[in-house]
């Protein structure tokens, strides 16, 4: 019998649809006098056409700059007056906004989201000002070698599917986009039929639905996002990308095609990652805070305990379409990147050919279960999970996560490793700092080779 605290013990969720198509999810959680409101839109960087990469993220920024009925300088204060927080983010499949505050602020939070859905102003001066901010954000990421390597490896691994371009966009697109481009994107995707409103906390469900009806019923229905994304062609051989810049640390990244969240391989692949690099959660909002349990993880033992890498991480995330399973290694100072690559690929090949043990899978599933519990420790996190999984896999998926993990077997994990970690499917990326390259050319190790 599962322990209290797993997803099976969360209160039930009420799902309603307004006449204009807005999906409303409500969960009463009375652990504190708080309410969390999230508004999700089924649009992300994967829905951007040529010349418009980064438009979803830019539009998200503009939706904090004031609406017809809420001047910019008042938006933040509405929530902060009740001791709350607000934020938002854009990723490949979705854009979302959140407010968490005292439950008595529920009406004000719903008002903000109804305004944001239909009345954002996109002042031309603000759009130009934000262009500078977003380009600085992009260039700041490019100055981070690990983030730059991730961007370049992803673009190398995905040549056709729009998951291959960065959420922030490419520089030339950010330089050329206009205010009209932003506003047209906003008008196309921000509508009730393409949105999910989530409210979790110390609330009454009937009251939430009445308030949602009051604030959102006058907004025109619009149309849901049903745009077809081009499928990524099968990969026929290994791909490589090598970066060389000034820096102090070398990195290695391996990427393999990953299943979409609705595919049967997803949860066995999730357990496989836990075996290889330690269990991470499935909450994009907080999954990468803190270190996963890695003491017995295969790649941690093979690389970090032997002193070849100072850190090992893996990432497989729930997405609508097939994305990537990525492995990142921070190379120990003085160790050749080639040594990290050779050792990591040898361990991956061993898992691929020999499979994993029942003990490893049981341990990985226990760790994943613990992460699921930790990631429902607040009304904000619960509301995030409800909305995120409703966006990528349907309303019921969140409540089934524990069951899906429980059902994974060692044979399934071994089979996924055998099929999906083949050499011809991988993309290998490396970052070498210039100083490291010079030292390797003159090191005794390099001379011996």
Mean pLDDT, each 10-residue run in order, the chain (449 residues): 49 94 97 97 96 98 96 88 94 97 97 98 97 96 93 98 97 98 98 98 98 98 92 96 94 98 98 96 74 91 98 96 98 97 98 98 96 91 96 93 97 98 98 67 34
CA dist 303 and 364 (Å) reads 19
Q: What is the pTM of this model?
A: 0.93
Q: What pLDDT shows up at residue 287?
A: 59
Domains by residue range for the chain, with CATH? 11-216 (3.30.830.10), 239-448 (3.30.830.10)
Strand partners for 36: 100, 200
Q: What pLDDT shows up at residue 77?
A: 87
Q: What pLDDT shows up at residue 16?
A: 98
Please, what's the largest Cα pairwise distance for the chain?
76
Q: What pLDDT shows up at residue 333?
A: 96
Q: What pLDDT shows up at residue 290?
A: 65
Whether 276 contacts 314, CB under 8 Å = yes
CA dist 205 and 13 (Å) reads 9
Distances (CA, A) of 162 to 53, 193, 232, 320, 433: 9, 23, 9, 12, 29
CA dist 399 and 383 (Å) reads 12
Q: What pLDDT shows up at residue 228?
A: 85
Secondary structure of 109-132 as H, E, C letters: HHHHHHHHHHCECCCHHHHHHHHH
Residue that has been written with the tokens 């990308």 in this structure: 241
Helix (H, G, I), strand (E, B) or coil at 67: strand
Q: What pLDDT shows up at residue 3?
A: 43
First to last CA, the chain: 58
Whether 6 contacts 369, CB under 8 Å = yes
Q: Which two tokens stand for residue 350?
A: 């061993």
């Amino acid at each position: 019998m599962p322990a209290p605290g797993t997803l099976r013990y969360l209160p039930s969720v009420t799902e309603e649809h307004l006449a204009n198509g807005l999906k409303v999810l409500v969960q009463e959680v009375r652990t504190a006098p708080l309410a969390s409101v999230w508004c999700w839109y089924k649009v992300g960087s994967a829905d951007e056409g040529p010349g418009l990469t980064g438009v979803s993220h830019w539009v998200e920024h503009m939706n904090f700059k004031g609406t017809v009925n809420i001047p910019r300088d008042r938006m933040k204060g509405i929530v902060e007056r009740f001791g709350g927080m607000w934020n938002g983010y854009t990723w490949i499949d979705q854009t979302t906004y959140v407010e968490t505050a005292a439950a008595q602020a529920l009406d004000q939070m719903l008002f903000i989201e109804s305004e944001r859905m239909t009345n954002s102003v996109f002042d031309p001066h603000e759009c130009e000002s934000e262009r500078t901010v977003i380009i600085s954000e992009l260039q700041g990421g490019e100055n981070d070698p690990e983030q730059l390597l991730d961007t370049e490896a992803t673009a190398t691994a995905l040549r056709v599917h729009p998951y291959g371009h960065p959420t922030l966009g490419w520089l030339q697109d950010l330089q050329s986009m206009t205010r009209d481009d932003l506003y047209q994107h906003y008008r196309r995707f921000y509508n009730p039929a393409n949105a999910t409103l989530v409210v979790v906390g110390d609330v009454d469900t009937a009251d939430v639905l009445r308030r949602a009806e009051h604030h959102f019923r006058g907004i025109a229905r619009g149309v849901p996002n049903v745009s077809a994304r081009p499928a990524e062609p099968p990969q026929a051989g290994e791909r490589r990308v090598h970066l060389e810049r000034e820096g102090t640390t070398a990195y290695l990244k391996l990427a393999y095609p990953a299943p979409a969240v609705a595919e049967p391989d997803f949860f066995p692949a999730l357990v496989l990652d836990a075996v290889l690099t330690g269990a991470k959660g499935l909450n994009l909002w907080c999954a990468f805070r803190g270190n996963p349990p890695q003491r017995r993880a295969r790649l941690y033992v093979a690389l970090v305990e032997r002193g070849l890498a100072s850190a090992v991480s893996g990432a497989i995330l729930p997405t609508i379409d097939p994305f990537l399973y990525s492995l990142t290694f921070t190379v120990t100072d003085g160790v050749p990147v080639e040594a990290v690559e050779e050792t990591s690929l040898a361990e991956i090949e061993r898992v691929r050919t020999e499979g994993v043990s029942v003990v490893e899978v049981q341990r990985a599933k226990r760790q994943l279960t613990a992460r699921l519990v930790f990631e429902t420790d607040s009304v904000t996190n619960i509301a995030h999970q409800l909305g995120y999984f409703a966006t990528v896999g349907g309303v019921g998926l969140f409540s089934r996560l524990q069951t899906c993990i429980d059902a994974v077997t060692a044979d399934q994990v071994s089979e996924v490793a055998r099929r999906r970690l083949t050499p011809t499917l991988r993309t290998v990326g490396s970052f070498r700092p210039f100083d490291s390259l010079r030292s390797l050319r003159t090191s005794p190790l390099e001379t011996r080779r």
